[in-house]
């Protein structure tokens, strides 16, 4: 006669309630188990007594014989493994073939302990691997817009939400943007920002320009606003009812210089971001940052380990001004080629126009460590269909390889 028996593998995993004669393949009643743990296993043994009827030691007065009273039988076992979900709830069982004959010299509890030790070691290795690959960065966004403080389109939306998402993943994030004062009720958006009382001198446009910093800590992000009189005027960030502001090159040159100084001089939360920063520069307004890192700081041993990523939202606007304005940017003369751009003949204003210009976006394309866009469609447009883009040649020479990396950055 065949009988099936559930035997606990761990000393304190399960309690056997009753000895039951079951046919192989039948369902296990829930009454078999009285207590469970996450890693508990049961051994299902099939014994052959050689005769029909109850075991030899079975009688009415002793329905559950002791170990030494049971007949010595050869047993072949199956492991009944208990499966749980992530919350520890029982979801089912599965049968695992046993290793063969079980004897007293090979306790079943030892097998379970070995399996448990292997499982714990594997989990420990996985946790250690995850801990080693967990890396956090000091990230500095440089942008002309950041919602809800300033916004004219998608640039403001991205720079107002992406920093918060990165901060939630454990990164230390700063956003550097102008403090626009329009003389309207919109100025109340900066009411939470506090003057850092840390004014610095920026040497550009033939003089020392003094700028200040305001700071607000919100949603895990350091929102830093560059304060200068050129940002205090009616209209939008870039112009008014009469058109684009004529000094936008000056205004965003100040922004770029101030953004490079902010991680070094502002003790946000008690200490500065330092030189090991990842700069995310957005569109042409912030495109002078990678050039400044390479031309102004690294020759003096500053920002040697910093990296820059150019984020293109709208390539139609590139920050193009006459070549004579290069001397106003506070850059060494030998770096003029990084920003210099020559318009094709068809785009020149008149016959005496040499076509030479300063192009902020082009400077970032040739000096940034990576180039990314806000969508794959823009990548395809820039790299394959940029015949309408005056930067097509430079993108092919300097930027196409980096766009491939941007999909995995």
- Span 64-120, pLDDT tens digits: 454 444 444 444 556 666 777 666 666 666 666 655 544 444 455 565 677 777 777
Does 145 lie in the same domain as 94? no
Contact between 145 and 178 under an 8 Å Cβ cutoff? The reply is: no
Three-class secondary structure assignment of 287-306: CHHHHHHHHHHHHHCCCCCC
Looking at residue 146, the DSSP 8-state letter turns out to be B
pLDDT in tens, 137-153: 999 999 999 999 999 99
Does 213 lie in the same domain as 281? yes
Does 142 lie in the same domain as 103? no
pLDDT of residue 344: 80
Does 93 lie in the same domain as 28? yes
Does 396 lie in the same domain as 352? yes
Provide the pairing of β-strand 194-195 with 172-178. Answer: unpaired
Does 158 lie in the same domain as 88? no
Does 312 lie in the same domain as 168? yes
Among candidate residues 112, 133, 154, the one where a domain is terminated: 133
CA atoms within 13 A on the CB side of 94: 5
**For the chain, what is the domain count?**
2
Among candidate residues 133, 165, 187, the one where a domain is terminated: 133
Does 125 lie in the same domain as 66? yes
Residue 44 CA to residue 208 CA, distance in Å, equals: 85
Q: For the beta carbon of residue 396, count every other beta carbon within 10 angstroms.
A: 14
Distances (CA, A) of 298 to 9, 332, 354, 399: 65, 13, 33, 22
pTM: 0.66
State the DSSP string of 173-221: EEEEEE--B-SSGGGGGGTT-EE----EEEEETTEEEEEEEEEEEETTE
pLDDT of residue 141: 98
CATH number at residue 365: 3.40.50.2000
Q: Reply yes or no on whether the pLDDT at 28 is more than 50.
A: no
Residue 46 CA to residue 257 CA, distance in Å, equals: 80
Q: Between these two residues, 91 and 15, which has the higher pLDDT value? A: 91
pLDDT of residue 121: 73
Residue 383 CA to residue 393 CA, distance in Å, equals: 10
pLDDT in tens, 314-366: 888 899 999 999 999 999 999 999 999 888 888 788 888 888 999 999 999 99
pLDDT of residue 87: 63
Does 170 lie in the same domain as 29? no
Does 295 lie in the same domain as 172? yes
Does 184 lie in the same domain as 107? no
Does 324 lie in the same domain as 181? yes
Q: 96 is in which domain, residue-wise? A: 2-133
């Amino acid at each position: 006669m065949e009988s099936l028996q559930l035997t606990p593998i761990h000393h304190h995993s399960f309690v056997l309630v009753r000895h039951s004669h079951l046919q192989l393949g039948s369902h296990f009643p829930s009454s078999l188990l009285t207590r469970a743990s996450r890693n508990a296993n049961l051994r299902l043994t099939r014994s052959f007594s050689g005769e029909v009827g109850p075991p030899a030691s079975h009688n009415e007065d002793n329905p559950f014989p002791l170990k030494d009273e049971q007949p010595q039988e050869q047993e072949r076992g199956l492991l009944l493994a208990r499966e749980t979900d992530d919350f520890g709830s029982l979801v089912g069982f599965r049968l695992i073939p046993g290793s063969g004959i079980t004897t007293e010299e090979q306790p079943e509890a030892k097998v379970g302990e070995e399996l448990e030790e292997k499982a714990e070691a594997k989990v420990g290795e996985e946790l250690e691997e995850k801990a080693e690959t967990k890396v956090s960065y000091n990230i500095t966004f440089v942008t002309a817009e950041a919602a809800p403080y300033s916004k004219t389109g998608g640039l403001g939306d991205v720079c107002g939400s992406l920093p918060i998402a990165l901060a939630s993943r454990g990164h230390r994030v700063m956003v550097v943007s102008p403090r626009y004062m329009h003389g309207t009720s919109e100025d109340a958006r900066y009411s939470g920002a506090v003057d850092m009382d840390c004014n610095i001198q920026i040497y550009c446009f033939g003089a020392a320009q003094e700028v200040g910093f305001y700071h607000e800590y919100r949603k895990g992000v350091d929102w830093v606003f560059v304060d200068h009189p050129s940002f205090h005027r009616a209209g939008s960030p870039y112009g008014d009812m009469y058109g684009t502001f004529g000094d936008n090159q000056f205004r965003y040159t100040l922004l770029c210089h101030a953004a490079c100084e902010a991680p070094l001089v502002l003790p946000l939360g008690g200490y500065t971001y330092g030189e090991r920063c990842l700069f995310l520069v957005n569109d042409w307004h912030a495109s002078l940052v990678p050039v400044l890192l390479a031309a102004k700081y690294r020759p003096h041993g500053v920002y040697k380990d910093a990296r820059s990523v150019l984020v293109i939202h709208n390539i139609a606007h590139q920050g193009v001004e006459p070549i004579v304005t290069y001397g106003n940017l506070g850059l060494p003369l030998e770096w003029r080629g990084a920003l210099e751009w020559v318009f094709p003949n068809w785009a020149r204003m008149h016959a005496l126009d040499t076509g030479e210009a300063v192009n902020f976006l082009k400077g970032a394309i040739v000096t940034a460590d990576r180039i990314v866009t806000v969508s794959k469609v823009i990548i395809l447009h820039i790299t394959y269909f940029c015949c309408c883009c005056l930067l097509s040649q430079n993108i092919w020479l300097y930027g196409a390889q980096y766009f491939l990396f941007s999909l995995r950055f």
